[in-house]
């Protein structure tokens, strides 16, 4: 794992109406990836997960540790790992959580990258996230996206919580 000061992830999260996938695909600069996140048994210092990220037919694997600093800011240590390391770490999966599968759309918009996660268990809503440089930074959302409410800091919308509460057959 990385040593020295931990990088900070400053992120706001919103529940949005399920967007038109054709609109997402037609946005200039948009990218689409298929993700699977598996939460690992806790080491007592925050959450740990492994993730497979498949984009344009290529898969990359990551190990990530996060620790909450505020509702908006987390310490995040992430590193790319080999497929072999990924498979070995899956043996440390938290038995109380199921793997989360989602389609992530990354959209550049007015100086930020918006990340929209579409989950197989939701047909009417999705999650929009935006990483920021500071907690009070302002950002814009395209008018084609309909925000239902902000869920930053709401524990029920953390992927680690969804992995615990959504039935495995729906994931």
Domains of the chain: 8-170 (2.40.320.10)
pTM of the shown model: 0.91
User: CA 114 to CA 134: how far, in whole Å?
Assistant: 16
The position carrying tokens 């043996």 is 91
The ranges of the chain with pLDDT < 70 are 1-6, 167-171
Looking at residue 50, its pLDDT comes to: 98
- Residues marked as catalytic: 39
CA nearest to 81, candidates 115, 38, 42, 130 = 38
Quick one: pLDDT at residue 5? 53
Name the helix (H) or strand (E) containing 162.
helix 159-165
Task: Provide φ and ψ at 104, rounded to 5°.
Answer: -110, 125
Contact criterion met (CB below 8 Å) for 105 and 118: yes
Q: What is the pLDDT of residue 124?
A: 97
Six token digits for residue 72: 């908006």
The C-alpha atoms of residue 77 and residue 48 are separated, in whole angstroms, by: 10
Distance of CA 82 to the CA centre of its chain: 20
Looking at residue 43, what is its pLDDT?
Answer: 74
pLDDT at 171: 56
Residue 126 is predicted with a pLDDT of: 98
């Amino acid at each position: 794992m990385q040593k020295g000061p931990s990088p900070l992830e400053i992120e706001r999260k919103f529940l949005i109406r399920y967007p038109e996938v054709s609109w997402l695909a037609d946005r200039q600069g948009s990218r689409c990836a298929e993700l699977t996140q598996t939460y690992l048994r806790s080491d007592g210092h925050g959450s740990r997960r492994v993730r497979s990220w498949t984009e344009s037919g290529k898969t990359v694997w990551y190990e990530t540790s996060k620790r909450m600093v505020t509702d908006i800011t987390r310490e995040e240590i992430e590193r790319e790992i080999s497929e072999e390391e990924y498979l070995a770490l899956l043996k440390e999966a938290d038995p109380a959580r199921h793997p989360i599968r989602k389609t992530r759309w990354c959209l550049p918009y007015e100086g930020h990258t918006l990340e929209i996660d579409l989950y197989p268990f939701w047909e009417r809503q999705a999650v929009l996230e935006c990483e920021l440089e500071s907690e009070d930074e302002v950002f814009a959302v395209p008018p084609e996206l309909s925000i239902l409410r902000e869920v930053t800091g709401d524990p029920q919308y953390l992927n680690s919580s969804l992995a615990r509460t959504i039935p495995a057959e729906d994931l």
